[in-house]
């Protein structure tokens, strides 16, 4: 009988310890992954340490902003190449609201201009403005702080033929494609600044940061296609945005 108890008692203690560890005696991690980052589902807004969650929604410019690591936020990048603003709006609930961030940066409408034509550019931009205001309203109605960003202008492509064509066009007084696009970028940026001011929305005014002073993108801030952003451009935007976001929203 004594031998049996010497066997049973240690086994009983071992089983008690096992139950404790599996039912809460130890640390139980309940998490999911979002864009490669672990997010605790008990408090989705609180991602790591004391950092809050920030979502960036936009098109390819936003998607390429992968090195942005602000001091106060953990970033979830929801940029998708080629998208227009109505497509951003269509996925806003899934990609922003369902992430439950503290802040969302809404950046991008240039593909609306790329995908339009001179004959319908005015209704296109009216739709762009409507899409932006709807995203702002959706964010606010779900307790998310919206931050608007101005769009950046473009420049001509790199290459001898492109440079010659640009010179000829300027001599003839013709409006280049880049100037055509930039004209409507600047026009919509003007509206965004006014709308943000009127409605108390924080603004990241990106366009002047990368401008050459003549409303085109500086060469060092563009890739060879004249449109996409260089590493230097993203570094400039990150420094600027971190400073403004850290200052309080």
pLDDT of residue 169: 54
pLDDT grade, residue 172 (50/70/90)? low
Tens of pLDDT, residue by residue over 99-153, are 999 999 999 999 999 999 999 999 999 999 999 999 999 999 999 999 999 999 9
pLDDT of residue 50: 77
Question: Does position 21 have pLDDT exceeding 50, yes or no?
Answer: no
The domain ranges of the chain are 30-246
Average pLDDT over residues 46-66: 88
Place of tokens 């990048």: 77
DSSP string, the chain: -HHHHHHHHHHHHHHHHHHHHHTTSS----EEEETTEEEETTSTTEEETTEEEEEEEESHHHHT-TT---TTEEEEEEE-TT--HHHHHHTHHHHTGGG--SEEEEE--HHHHHT--TTTHHHHHHHHHHHHHHHHHHHHHTT-EEEEEPPPP--PPSSHHHHHHHHHHHHHTPPPHHHHHHHHHHHHHHHHHHHHHHHT--EE--HHHHB-SSSSB-GGGB-TTSSSBPHHHHHHHHHHHHHHHHT--
Burial of 177 (0-12, 13-18, 19+ CB in 10 A): middle
Average pLDDT over residues 46-56: 79
Question: Does position 22 have pLDDT exceeding 80, yes or no?
Answer: no
Question: Does position 83 have pLDDT exceeding 70, yes or no?
Answer: yes
DSSP string, 68-108: ---TTEEEEEEE-TT--HHHHHHTHHHHTGGG--SEEEEE-
- Measured CA to CA, the distance from residue 157 to residue 33 in angstroms comes to 39
pLDDT of residue 41: 30
The CA-atom distances, in angstroms, between 82 and each of 111, 155, 209 are 7, 18, 23
> pTM for this one?
0.77
Tens of pLDDT, residue by residue over 189-238, are 999 999 999 999 999 999 999 999 999 999 999 999 999 999 999 999 99
Question: Does position 5 have pLDDT exceeding 80, yes or no?
Answer: no
pLDDT of residue 175: 86
Pairing of strands 46-48, 73-79: unpaired
Q: Angle 139-184-242 (CA atoms, 0-180°, nearest 5)?
A: 45
Q: Which residues lie across from 32 on neighbouring strands?
A: 39
- Measured CA to CA, the distance from residue 153 to residue 159 in angstroms comes to 19
Contacts of 132 (CB under 8 A, 6+ apart): 85, 106, 109, 148, 192, 195
pLDDT of residue 166: 57
Place of tokens 């801030």: 221
Question: Does position 249 have pLDDT exceeding 90, yes or no?
Answer: no
Average pLDDT over residues 29-37: 31
CATH of domain 30-246: 3.40.50.1110
Question: Chain-wide mean pLDDT for the chain?
Answer: 82
Structure tokens at 126: 């009216």
Q: Output the CA torsion sign for 112, 113, 115, 118.
A: positive
- Measured CA to CA, the distance from residue 180 to residue 125 in angstroms comes to 14
């Amino acid at each position: 009988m004594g031998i049996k108890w010497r066997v049973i008692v240690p086994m009983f203690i071992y089983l008690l310890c096992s139950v404790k560890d599996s039912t809460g005696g130890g640390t139980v991690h309940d998490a999911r992954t979002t864009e490669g980052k672990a997010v605790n589902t008990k408090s989705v807004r609180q991602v790591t340490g004391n950092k809050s969650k920030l979502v960036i929604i936009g098109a390819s410019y936003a998607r390429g902003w992968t090195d942005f690591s602000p001091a106060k936020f953990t970033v979830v990048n929801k940029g998708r190449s080629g998208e227009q603003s109505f497509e951003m709006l269509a996925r806003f609930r899934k990609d922003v609201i369902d992430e439950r961030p503290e802040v969302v940066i809404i950046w991008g409408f240039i593909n609306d201009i790329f995908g339009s034509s001179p004959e319908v550019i005015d209704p296109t931009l009216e739709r762009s403005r409507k899409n932006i205001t709807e995203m702002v309203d959706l964010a606010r109605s779900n307790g998310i702080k919206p931050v608007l960003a101005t769009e950046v202008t473009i420049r001509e492509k790199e290459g001898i033929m492109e440079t010659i064509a640009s010179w000829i066009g300027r001599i003839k007084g013709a409006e280049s494609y880049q100037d055509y696009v930039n004209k409507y970028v600047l026009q919509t940026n003007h509206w965004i600044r006014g709308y943000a001011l009127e409605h108390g929305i924080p603004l990241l005014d990106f366009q002047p940061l990368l401008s050459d002073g003549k409303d085109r993108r500086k060469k060092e801030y563009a890739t060879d296609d004249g449109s996409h952003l260089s590493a230097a451009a993203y570094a400039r935007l990150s420094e600027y945005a971190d400073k403004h976001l850290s200052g309080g929203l």
